[in-house]
Structures are given as structure tokens and as C-alpha cells.
Structure 1
Amino acid sequence: MTPRSRIFATFCAALVFLRAPASAGQADFNDVGKCMAIALQNGHFARQPFSRLSSRFLENYLKALDPGKLFFTRQDIDRFEQSYGESLDDLLLKGECMTAASDISRTFGLRVAARVEEAGRLLAAPPFDFTQDESIPASRKDATWPRDESQAMILWRQQVKEALLAEILRREAAVPGQESATGEKSPGEKLAARYRRVLADVEADSAPAKVASTFLSSVAQAFDPHTDYMNTRDVELFNEDMRNEINGIGVGIRADPNGATLIRSVVRNGPADRQGSLQPGDRVIAIDPDGEGPRESLDILFMGSDRVAELIRGSAGTPVTLSVEPATGAPGAATISILRGQVPVEESLASAQLIRVKGDSGERKLGLITLPSFYRDFEKSRTACSLDVEKLLLRLKGEAIDGLLIDLRGNGGGSLTEVERMTGFFTRPSPVVQVKDGYGKIAVLESTADDPLYGGPLVVLTDRGSASASEIFAAALQDDNRAVIVGEAATFGKGTVQVIKDLGSSMPFFTARSGAGALRLTVQKFYRPSGLSTQNRGVIPDIVLPGPGDGRERGESDLDFALGPDRIALAPAFHPLDRNRLFIPELARKSAARVAASRDFTYLLEDAQRLKQFIATNRVSLNLERRREEIGANAATAKERDEERRVRFAGMAAADGEHLSIDSFTLADLAGGAALRQAAPEPLPEKDLLSGPALPWPGGLDPQKREAIAVLGDLIDATGRAI
């Protein structure tokens, strides 16, 4: 097998799960753990000694169960370390790991039950005193375990007090009359119900399969953040995501402060939209995932959105029944039954815009392609982002565009095959990425297109959410000096390659293997054509812009046990273009002047600084008046910004009306021969500390996109002068 075909097969394996041969009976998770341990020991890229990782396995499992260090005590931890701290590796390889996993899980359930019982007692007693000068850590990630149950209950009392204070403040900020319309219970009653839901979730997670899933994931993730155990449902969802194919009812959901799950949106032409009863704003309070099947309706109050989504999604053609409080405020809950089906995912496919900019020298046409992921269906070979981008690019070329912007913000990656082909749209035959395996062997993948599909000025927009395949694409174009990269300080920094290993097929032939799941295993690292690794460091843009992600810990380097960066030699036969053709110093100077003059970028910098200070301080006050003052100060700042933006946005909209025209088109529009249509405004992003303004971005262009368009205009001008 050639290096090229070997890498192609590797990435196919990473995207397609091959089902294990049928075998009667549920797999014994002791056997699954042994099989996974052998695969980790023999196949992980880093070749870490398995025998030295036992304490890390334990640390990860405890963190997965109790990340805030509120339930276990130091006494518990000492017992776990004495019993399992140096033996989990042996227990895994001997096929005896579930005894330890179940013991720790059982202890966790007892501690949660005790905390919930105490919460009920506290909330039924006279109210807390919120006049004291008291505070607690905002995050207990780096805190120590409470010494014993006595100290744990003191910490727990503070947590309950803070949760009750937050509920009181939330209600003070609610729209007048909303509470009576929704029939909310008192803050204490609502909080008690929430804690009961926590206990119910923990009890549900004590089932053997759930315990095994959490424990085996903790073991796998001790090797690196992207190595993971996947249960059978995880695998199904993974394959659906890669195919851009979702089986459900077609709704967007989010947690409602009252405990219900709010229907945020209904996907057009999806199963719920066709059924017609469910509307945005409705609140789901219970779900029967089997429709009229054997399971009763499950109360989902204060259930996490991920768990709710799991109940809603399912095989096409199967029913799901929802108990819904209508958004109209009508009394009682309606029962709505919907047949699941394939949900249209147009918003997750590539799309494009044609931007006409009028200036003194005439009209300039700019193309914008937005790519949410590098998707590909390896099974049917009908869905591939490179095919979609090619169609959009040809349509834009038909409009004689002067420059192109590719928006990869939030693009978490996908298929390397698609990256390889897409890079060829913009370059001559050239190295795209180098891949090294655990034995040190290096293969180079190249774009093979004879001639680029588009050879004009090119800008790529990234952010901290651009990861993996997105980083390969951006880095290849940056190393080749083919495009100007614009965006937040760095991309995510995922420079590793995973394959999906079916554990059931690796188990002994006569062993029960149903539900064994799979192992997502890191087997390679990728490197830029220049030899640099994007691992941890990401891709550093040529022109850095302030972004909503500034101030947050949300990159690869912030994850536990992330592999480190390194570098290898320059790819053979790599001859980049002349970097002077990109005019980076000139473009950066002009961009910096615009950013410095932008109020919106100034707001982002202020928010980032405030967030950094909050994280560094790591304290939350339990004094009611002080919290009111903090909320009031934030509200005043948000109001001041809204008022300033209202005036400024009106002026920007008027100027856009004279000088800017934006038309959008999707793949469906191309297939149906639809004409270009005016772009819809984009919503403003949510803020962490300050409420976002109520106005849409002028022209539907957020600050980063607007600035990237300006950089593209500068590149076109500079390129024109150089000809």
C-alpha cells in the first residue's frame, strides 16, 4: 500500500464505523475494558507506558464524576488511591476493571444522595441570610477535596446558597408577568426539584453500561483529549454528523431557566414542521422516547440539553411523544406525537454570498463561501463538501468576482480527503499536509489538480473554533503564501489524527460483543508543509482580530493531557510562492487602524479583559445587594452600548445601502436554478458577562467578517497596483 493510499484508508477508518459481527448477548464490559486497554497499549501514537498511567486513569474518572470536587471527600480519595491508584492498569488488562469502576460509582451515588437530602433540608428551613459578606470560588477546578463529610457539607451549604441567590436574581430580571403566566414555583421549590433531577440522573447513570461508558472514556482520555471510548449510540451520532444526516424531529433546543427545555427553533420542512403542532417558544416538560412503546413518559425538568437531545433523536420512522407547555401560556400541557425522520441540514452545508461594493472606481464583486465543516459521506459518496464548494465557486466565478473570502469560523474539521481536494482549487500541485505515525514514518499528501479553479486574491477567516481539517487547509494556504489568514489570535490547535476501532470485532470470537462500542484512537500527528505542527499552537493568522473567544480557555493547549507541539523537516519539493505578493505589512497596518477605530472591537477587548479579571479573581459574592450592584453595572454598560450602537448602526446601514449589496445562495438554490436573493441579517452573538445588543449587525456582517472583507479589498487594490 502506498503512503498516499495508507493515509486515505486511515482517514476513511476514522469516519466510518464497521459493525461487529453479530453475537448474542450483551458484551461483558470487563472484556471490553481489556480489549480497549490492549488497543491503547499497542496502538496509541505516543507509545506511553501503560503501567505508569494507573493514577491518571483514576484521576480522570474522579474528575468525570465530580469535576467541582463537591461530593467525594479526601477520605474517599485516599481509599480509592490505596485500592486502585496503582492497580487500574492491571485490572484493565486482567479483565477485572468494572469492580473498581462500580465501587467508585456507587460511592459517588451515596454522596450525591446525601447532598441532595441536605439541600432539601436547607431549602425547607428559614431563608438564608444574604446580607453577610461571604463569597465562594466561581470555579472549583483547582480546589482541594473537602477533608471529610463535615467540611463537604459546609461547602455544599454555600453552593446551595449561591444557587438560591442566582434563582432569586434571575426572577428579579424576568419580564414582568412572566412568572405568573408560567406558574413557577417558589425559588426554593424550584431549586429542590432541580436537585432531585440531579439525583435521578446520577441514579440513571449507575446502570452498568453507563458506568462502563464513563469509566472507559476516562481511561482513554488519559492518553490525550481526542482518544475516547464511544458507546454504540456515540458511534451512530458520529456517523450521522459526518454524513450531515440527522434523524430526529428537527428542532433547536436550549435549557429554560424554569427547568423545562425550550424549543428555540423548528427546522423548515423537518418532521416537527410538517406535523405542525410544535412552535418556537414551547416548553417541553416530559418525553416518551418510544412514542406509544413500553417506556413511560420521562420527566425532563432540569435535565441537560444533551440528554434531552438524546431522547428526541432516534431512528427514522419511530415515534416520539412530547408533553409541551404552549408558548401562548395556555393552561395545561399538550401531548404531541411526531414521527422521527431525516432532518434537513442545509444550515450545516456550504453556502455562498455575492457582495457588491460600490466605490469611486466603480463596482467591485467579492465572493464569500461559508463552510461549517469538512463533511463527507464515505458510505454513499454522494455528500462531500469539496463537491459543494466547487459548485458554489463556479457560480461565483460566473459573476466575475474580484476576490474571494472563505469563512472557516467554528469549522471543527472533518475529512482530510476533502481538505486535500479543496486546497487544489486554489493552488498548483503542492504539499498540503505531512502525516507522521507512532513509528516515525512520514507521508506527504499533495493537491493533485493540474490548474487551480480560482487563482485570484484570497482571504481565509478563522477563529478559535477552527480546528483539525480547517487548520490543515488554512496552514497549507498560508505556508504556500497563497492566501492571507485573518482571525482570532490562533485556531484551536488540534494536530492529531484518530481512527475508529470497533472493539467488538477485536474480542474473542465466541465472546458476547453486542454493545461493546468503539475506541477512537490517536494514531498520527499532522504537520504543515513547512514542517511545523499545529498541535497546541494552532494556526497564527497573518492579521489578528479581537474576537468573542478572547479571554476564554478553549483551545487544545487548555485540555488535559494534550500532546505537545514539535516540528519535522520541510516537505520535499515544497516551493512556496513569493510572500511579498500578499503585501502583509501593508494590509496589517491598514487593518490595525480600522480595528483601533472600531467601537465593536473595543467592546470585545473590554469584555475579554473583564472575563480575564473574573477568571483570575475566581470569586462569586453571596451578598444579595452586592450581586445586584454587579448586575446593575453590567446592565448599565449594556444599555449604554445599545444606545450607542443604535445610532451608529443606523448610519452604517444607510452607508451600506448606498455602497453595499449582498446576495445569498445555497446549494438548494443552485440545484433549483433560483435567482440570487438578498441576504438575511445575522443575529448578534450572545455575551458571557454583558447582555448583547438588540440590533442585528448592519448588512448582516459581524465585525470580524466586515474587517475580513476590508482586508480582501486592500489585497485586491495592492495586487492591482503590482500588476
Structure 2
Amino acid sequence: MSLPRFRRAVIAATACVVASSAHAAQADFNEVGRQVAIMLQNSHFARLPFNAETSQRFLEDYLKQLDPAKVYFTQADVDRFKGTYGGELFKLLVQSKGLDAANDVYGTYRKRVEARGEMAKKFLKEDALDFSGHETVTANRKDSPWPKDDAEADALLRAQLKEAVLTETVVRELQSKMAKDQGKPDPTLAEAPPREKIALRYERFLHAVKDAATDDIADGLLGAVARSYDPHTDYMIDREANRFNDAMRNELVGIGAELKPEDDGTTRIMGIMINGPADREGTIQLRDRVLGVDTDNSGTMTDIKFMEQYKVVDLIRGKAGSTVRLLVQPAAAAPGETKIVSVVRGKVEIKAAQASAGIIDTKSPEGTPRRLGWITLPSFYADFSSAARVRCSADVEQFLQRLTAEKIDGLIFDLRNNGGGSLEEVRRMTGFFTGSGPVVQEKNTLGQVKVSDTDNRKPIYDGPMVVLINKASASASEILAGALQDYNRAVIVGDSSTFGKGTVQEPLDVAKMLPFFANRDGAGMLKLTIRKFYRPSGSSTQLDGVASDVVLPGPADSMEIGEKFLDHAFPHDRINPAPGLTPLNKDGLFLARLKEASATRLKTDRDFAYYGEDATRSEEKREKNTVSLNLEERRKELFDLDARLDQRNAERRERFKTLKTEDDKTLKLTKLTLDDLAKGADFHPYDPSKENEEYIRRAKDPIAELNDAPEWPNGLDPIKREGIKVLSDLVDATEKARIAGVNPLKEAAAEIR
């Protein structure tokens, strides 16, 4: 179990935020809170009453957000907050006094964290830690009671700190053993001692809590209020809003580097985007540390030690063409040696998040050559703010045209881990495969239903098709997968279902709602749920998601991933089918045959068996919900896991040799990127070991390199491989039907009404 709210080593692309919070003046967040409250009441789909009951929900969600592990606030604190604000917070918001409540609650939180912080420092430095007993800690305290007093809260935190030191200790033992077994240098020798490392992590957390600015505090309260309506309604201060917009555009403005916060409070360069501003400047190298930032090239350097990652990014980011100066400690420098580097900011494309395509040349069981196309879409990105629009539908359209020109026999559309994006893009894209007809239905709070049709009268591609999904396929991904399933146009393959997000959000600029003479700087954005969407068949994707036609057991199905695990999620429901929905003949998908063939393969597939074993262990661990503080028990648990993985890896290495030999005889993989399209280049050989190397140079992590798990041959993991086999079966069945004089994809069923 990790310490509550610790910011782990999360790599964030430098250039994701809008502007520093250190403005000379900014919006009045009491007034911002009032306008957010009005917008929620007037425009949210659920039309929740703004009263004492919802006020209690606002407060409870805010407290859980601040202290999810329930180790800082005591029951007395919670009782005071409920007595003062529980039934009144909604009134304070509309009276422009919401920040008064936030300052009180957060101020108490800061005091508790600082007080426990002093205790934690002393505990980690002085107390003897006995790991020989039978003490345990609760792994997940979300349903646990608040500590009754400071003494109990201190005891809970001490137990968590002790567990963190124990985890660090046994993990290092294993890493040292792995390094020795592999004949590599021991990477743990360069690490601070376990107690010191945990203390440094806690120090970073303390700084984050103590250094919270007014907009941070307002963001916390208003975000909790917004998410009390549903999981996807959210308030964002400007830097968060710009992260959202950057992600939609797949484009950033900054220096083109990836940063990692270190436990010692510094920030390390872990990636440099090829041909980005930092790469062109040439001075900054991988694993250099950034110690300070002069954001506007004014000569004033801001010390960023222990500063939160987003604030560091905030300082480095700025307008394209402007200069930022960085105080850098080179990776190979002597202690104390630093230099100042000036970098001109510029636009950086997030190329790894762009659509891409590929071709798999293989053979049927009878030896017939097969060309299978592959399109991967990481998100439904779009930029509607500029004339030169970035649109994923335009990118996919070009890939489809190239693939059809290559005369593919079947297509896999990979939507795994695609969390959604632009509704307009998925509406347009669906028509590439279905031709004319309804794609999605949207219902507003008045119950009025709008049906959105495709643009295409004829599909671009009308051949056999498989869509790969998993639990992380959400929103727009579910619209596409659901529509293709309703049309009987594609076979859905993957986890038992998608995420289950069936709501539409609209970003609203809060600044536009403020009084005429009010300061609008940094007022932020409210992402508001305004409609629910439904499949052409009338079924909502809410909660249930889109169910796979061919289910492949994977690790995600044992995890608490999905809408149904989120607070305040809407229920599933149905409306009438959309007029004009004319599905193809479902028999043309040969689902019974595909399921049977896949099930037969899965019975003897070792990798899917491993997924099942891991899922069972994860479920048992979650149900147990306790972690031992006994050194020998934890050591045995971790080393047994390592032995099991070693055995698994040894089996895979031998099996993968055979698999690679078979692949070399039967498979040829090629790839096409957007850069290739722009150059007019052909499909080129696909080398998974060099994936994304043309976009970014990344620093080697000596600890990560201890992982000796073999790579999937040709980059084809079990899900991809089985997806290819399902598509091959579909192509073969379709071809045999056509030879027999049947065109299953063209025989439409009666229109559903």
C-alpha cells in the first residue's frame, strides 16, 4: 500500500498546461463558484435539486477527495464540517461564499497534514521498526471509518509509513537479486536508504499540500461539487482545461520533453521529442535534472525543488516563440555543477497518440494468401479551433483509402484503451463502414431525442471487420463499437465489455458567465454532462457498455474498471430504435462458428491461462483487503511471485522461439503512419522493438531493465493474435459463403422500428 495522495513517478509531457497561477490578479473564485452552481442547476442533465441533501453530497465528496485514505481528518473534524457546511454548502456557493468553506476545510486539512508530517519525520528517523510480528494494515480504506481522534490518526499513518518502508525494503532485495542473477550492476546502490526515500516522498507530499494556491483550493472544492452530479462533470482551472484541449488536439506548446519528479525533490528529463524545441537546441540531455525555471526569460529563476509536477510544467510552458530558461544539472556533472539553458518554445505533436495503420500478410489454413488490414486509434482527437483542422476521422479516412487500394481481405479496428473524444468525429467515422444511416441518439434532460446520421452514402470499406475493445474503451469508442454491432457490420472482440460511459459533456467557459466588470483571468472551465447517448438500437452504453461478441479473458475483467465502479453514475436505460436503422443479416457474421473456434483455441492457450490465474489472485487479494507488516511473510510473497514469473518467462521464451519461427514463415507485418501519408511513402516493415523511436528518445531506467520478460514475437500480444485469428476465420467463412453464391454482408434484415 502506498502513502495517501503520494505523487508517484508520473511522466508528464512538458507543455500540457496554460499559464502560471502566479498572475498579478485572477478571477474571484467565490464568484466563480456562484456561476458554477448556477450552471449546474440550469444545464446539467440530471437537474438535481440544489438543497441540503445535495449539499451533504458536495461536502462528503470533497472530504473523500482530500483524504481518500482517511488518515488526516478525524471524526471530530468531519462532524464539525457537517454541522457547519453539511446542509449549507449549496447556499454558500450561490451566495458567493463557497471559497470561505473551502478555505476552512482545506486549512484544517493543511494543519492536520503538517502536524502528522512532523510526527512522520520523527517516526521515520528515530523509531525502531519491528517487522517480526503479525500486524496488518488495511489496503483500501475507502469504506473505513474516520479515525476517532488524533492518536488513532497518528497510529494509522505510522502503520502506512511502516508498510511503505517494508515494501521498499523487500522490493530492493528482489531487485538486487535480479541484478545479480542477470550479471548487471545493482541499481539499488544508487538509491537513498528505504526510510530516507519514504521520508523524501512524504516531503514532496507535504510541499504539495502546503503550497496550494487559491486556484488550487477552489479547483478542489468546485471539482468535487461538479463530480457530485456524475463522474464526468468536472470543473477545471485554466491549466487543466488546456491539458484537456491539448489532448484533443494531439498537440502541445512547450519544449518537447518528458519530466519525472524524483524523490529528492528534483525533476529529471526522461524523454526528448525528436526535432522538438529542446532537441533542436541540443544542450539538454536525457537524465539531466531541472533545478529552476525562469518562465519569462526575465532573469528571475524559480526554485522548483519539491514543486508539484503540474506547476513545474506550468512554468516551462508558454507562448510559441517565447524563451524559457532552465537551471540544469547535467546527468554526468560533478556535485553542484549546473548550467543555464535557454529554449525557444514551440509546437510539439504527440505523434504516439495519432492514428496508424498496418497490413498483416498471412495465409488461411488451406494456404490461401490473406491481407489483413489494421487501424489503431488511440483517441477520437480533433481540433476545431484552427483552420488547419486536426481530425482523426480525416486520418482514418486516408488510411482506409490506402488499405482498400492494397486490396485487404479483412480489417481489424483497434479501439483498446481509447477513452473517447469528439462525438462529431465518431459520427463521421462510422459511415466509413456502414454507409448512410443513424449512428447515435442523444437525449436531453427534457427527454427530447436527436438522431445523428452519417455523412457517407456508401461505405469506404465494406469487407469483413473485427473491432478490438477492452475495459478502457469508453465514450466515443463505445458509440462506434455499438453502432457497428447494431448494424451487424463487425464482430466485437476483447474484454467482456467496454467501460460503460454513456453521457455527453460540453465544455463551458466560466469566464463568459461572470459579471461584466469582473476579472476573468483563470476562471476555468466547467465540463458539463448535458445529454445521454444511445446506440441506434436504442440501448444506452451507460453502465453496461458494449458487450463483446467473442470474449477474450484478460487482466482488466478482474479489476474494478468501468462506470459501474464510479460514484454517482447514471443508470442504464433504453429508448426506441432510431428510424432508418437497417442492419445487415447477422448470420453474415458467423458468430457461433467464430465463438466455437476461439473457445477451442483458448482452452490450450498458455497466455490466456496466465491471465486467468492473475485475475483469480487479484480478486482474492482485493477481497482480503489487508497487507502484512511481517518481513518474512512479505519477502516470501514477493519472492514467490518472482519465482512464478521466472517460471512463466522461461516457458514463454521457449514457446516464443517456436512462435517466431512460425511467424517468419506465415506472417509479414508492415506499418503506415501519418508522417508516411504526408510523404506519400509506402507501407514499411514493422519493428515493434523500435516503436515510437522516430518520435522520442527516452532515458533507460536501470530498474525497469531488470524486467527480463520476453517480448511478444512481432509485437503481437495474445489479444492481437486471437483478434487476427478471429478475423481470419471471418474472412474464410465469408469467402466460402460467396463461393456458394451467398453474399451475407449485403443481405439486409428488415428495418428495426
How high is the TM-score relative to the length of structure 1? 0.91
Q: Deviations over 1:40-95 (max 9, x none)?
A: 11111011111130000001111111111010000000000000000001111111
Q: Give 1:350's aligned residue.
A: 355
Q: Give 2:398's aligned residue.
A: 391
Of 673, 679, 684, which residue of structure 2 is paired with 1:677? 684
Q: Which moved more, 1:552-561 or 1:712-721?
A: 552-561
Of 248, 256, 273, which residue of structure 2 is paired with 1:250? 256
Q: Give 1:284's aligned residue.
A: 289
Structure 1 residue 317 displacement after superposition: 3.1
**One-letter code aligned to 2:254:** G
Q: Write the distance in 1 (CA, Å) between the matches of 2:717 and 2:274.
A: 25
8 A Cα contact 1:527 1:567, kept in partner = yes
Cα 1:504–1:126, aligned 2, differ >3 Å: closer, same or farther? closer
Runs of 5+ in structure 2 lacking a partner?
1-18, 692-700, 739-753
Question: Is 1:529 matched up with 2:553?
Answer: no
Q: Give 1:4's aligned residue.
A: none
Cα 1:98–1:539, aligned 2, differ >3 Å: closer, same or farther? same
Structure 1 residue 248 displacement after superposition: 2.4
Q: Write the distance in 2 (CA, Å) between the matches of 1:289 and 1:140.
A: 41
Runs of 5+ in structure 1 lacking a partner?
1-18
Of 714, 719, 744, which residue of structure 2 is paired with 1:699? 714
Give the CA RMSD over aligned residues: 2.5
Q: Write the distance in 2 (CA, Å) between the matches of 1:618 and 1:598.
A: 31
Q: Give 1:367's aligned residue.
A: 373
Q: Write the distance in 2 (CA, Å) between the matches of 1:450 and 1:190.
A: 62
Q: Give 1:614's aligned residue.
A: 621
**One-letter code aligned to 2:496:** A
**One-letter code aligned to 1:620:** V
Q: Write the distance in 2 (CA, Å) between the matches of 1:643 and 1:260.
A: 39
8 A Cα contact 1:290 1:318, kept in partner = no
Q: Write the distance in 1 (CA, Å) between the matches of 2:324 and 2:639.
A: 43
Q: Give 1:10's aligned residue.
A: none
8 A Cα contact 2:291 2:329, kept in partner = no
Q: Give 2:5's aligned residue.
A: none
Q: Give 1:112's aligned residue.
A: 113
8 A Cα contact 1:368 1:407, kept in partner = yes
8 A Cα contact 1:681 1:697, kept in partner = no
Q: Give 1:77's aligned residue.
A: 78
Q: Write the distance in 1 (CA, Å) between the matches of 2:367 and 2:557.
A: 37
Partner-residue secondary structure (3-state), 2:672: strand
Structure 1 residue 265 displacement after superposition: 3.1
Partner-residue secondary structure (3-state), 2:659: helix
Partner-residue secondary structure (3-state), 1:197: helix
Q: Give 2:319's aligned residue.
A: 315
Of 225, 231, 253, which residue of structure 2 is paired with 1:225? 231
8 A Cα contact 2:441 2:449, kept in partner = yes
8 A Cα contact 1:467 1:492, kept in partner = yes
8 A Cα contact 1:24 1:513, kept in partner = no
Show the 5 A alignment for 1:122-201: 122-172=123-173, 173-174=175-176, 175=179, 178=186, 182=190, 184-201=191-208
Of 701, 708, 715, which residue of structure 1 is paired with 2:730? 715
Partner-residue secondary structure (3-state), 1:366: strand
Show the 5 A alignment for 1:77-96: 77-96=78-97
Q: Write the distance in 2 (CA, Å) between the matches of 1:250 and 1:472.
A: 33
**One-letter code aligned to 2:98:** C
**One-letter code aligned to 2:227:** Q
Q: Write the distance in 2 (CA, Å) between the matches of 1:703 and 1:279.
A: 37
Cα 1:25–1:160, aligned 2, differ >3 Å: closer, same or farther? closer
Question: Is 1:581 matched up with 2:588?
Answer: yes
Q: Give 1:27's aligned residue.
A: 27
Q: Write the distance in 1 (CA, Å) between the matches of 2:253 and 2:712.
A: 33
Q: Give 1:240's aligned residue.
A: 246
Structure 1 residue 261 displacement after superposition: 4.7
Structure 1 residue 179 displacement after superposition: 5.7
Q: Give 2:417's aligned residue.
A: 410
Cα 1:597–1:258, aligned 2, differ >3 Å: closer, same or farther? farther
Q: Which moved more, 1:401-410 or 1:187-196?
A: 187-196
8 A Cα contact 1:682 1:701, kept in partner = no
Of 216, 222, 247, which residue of structure 2 is paired with 1:216? 222
Structure 1 residue 709 displacement after superposition: 0.9
How many residue pairs get aligned? The number is 694
Partner-residue secondary structure (3-state), 1:53: helix
Cα 1:695–1:190, aligned 2, differ >3 Å: closer, same or farther? same
Q: Which moved more, 1:318-327 or 1:188-197?
A: 318-327
Structure 1 residue 452 displacement after superposition: 0.8
8 A Cα contact 2:200 2:263, kept in partner = no
Q: Write the distance in 2 (CA, Å) between the matches of 1:250 and 1:507.
A: 35
Q: Segments of 4+ in structure 1 off by > 6 A?
A: none
Q: Write the distance in 1 (CA, Å) between the matches of 2:299 and 2:284.
A: 24
Partner-residue secondary structure (3-state), 1:142: coil
Q: Give 2:597's aligned residue.
A: 590
Q: Write the distance in 1 (CA, Å) between the matches of 2:614 and 2:296.
A: 46
Show the 5 A alignment for 1:359-508: 359=364, 360-381=366-387, 382-508=389-515
Cα 1:37–1:292, aligned 2, differ >3 Å: closer, same or farther? same
**One-letter code aligned to 2:237:** N
Cα 1:180–1:704, aligned 2, differ >3 Å: closer, same or farther? closer
Q: Write the distance in 2 (CA, Å) between the matches of 1:288 and 1:262.
A: 13
Show the 5 A alignment for 1:4-43: 25-43=25-43
Q: Write the distance in 1 (CA, Å) between the matches of 2:637 and 2:342.
A: 44
Q: Deviations over 1:255-294 (max 9, x none)?
A: 55676555443222222322334444x1536342616446
Q: Which moved more, 1:584-593 or 1:270-279?
A: 270-279
Structure 1 residue 332 displacement after superposition: 5.1
Q: Which moved more, 1:487-496 or 1:162-171?
A: 162-171
Q: Write the distance in 1 (CA, Å) between the matches of 2:450 and 2:228.
A: 27
Structure 1 residue 187 displacement after superposition: 2.5
8 A Cα contact 1:181 1:329, kept in partner = no
Q: Which moved more, 1:380-389 or 1:42-51?
A: 380-389
8 A Cα contact 1:486 1:541, kept in partner = yes
**One-letter code aligned to 1:703:** P
**One-letter code aligned to 2:343:** I
Q: Which moved more, 1:477-486 or 1:126-135?
A: 126-135
Partner-residue secondary structure (3-state), 1:461: strand
Show the 5 A alignment for 1:613-632: 613-632=620-639
Q: Write the distance in 2 (CA, Å) between the matches of 1:216 and 1:368.
A: 42
Q: Deviations over 1:369-427 (max 9, x none)?
A: 11111111112252111111111111111111101111011111111111111111111
Partner-residue secondary structure (3-state), 1:95: coil
Q: Write the distance in 2 (CA, Å) between the matches of 1:501 and 1:417.
A: 17
Q: Write the distance in 2 (CA, Å) between the matches of 1:417 and 1:478.
A: 19
Structure 1 residue 652 displacement after superposition: 0.6
Partner-residue secondary structure (3-state), 1:550: helix
Structure 1 residue 180 displacement after superposition: 7.8
Partner-residue secondary structure (3-state), 2:499: coil
Q: Which moved more, 1:322-331 or 1:709-718?
A: 322-331
Q: Deviations over 1:142-193 (max 9, x none)?
A: 11100001111111111121122222223322447556864x4333233223
Q: Deviations over 1:95-134 (max 9, x none)?
A: 1111111001110010000111001111221431111111
Structure 1 residue 254 displacement after superposition: 4.5
Q: Deviations over 1:559-613 (max 9, x none)?
A: 1111111110111122211101100110011111112221111111111111111
Q: Give 2:743's aligned residue.
A: none
Q: Write the distance in 2 (CA, Å) between the matches of 1:287 and 1:589.
A: 61
Cα 1:141–1:693, aligned 2, differ >3 Å: closer, same or farther? farther
Q: Give 2:102's aligned residue.
A: 101
Q: Deviations over 1:622-660 (max 9, x none)?
A: 111111111100110111111111111111111100110
Q: Write the distance in 2 (CA, Å) between the matches of 1:544 and 1:314.
A: 46
**One-letter code aligned to 2:66:** L
Question: Is 1:571 matched up with 2:571?
Answer: no
**One-letter code aligned to 1:388:** D
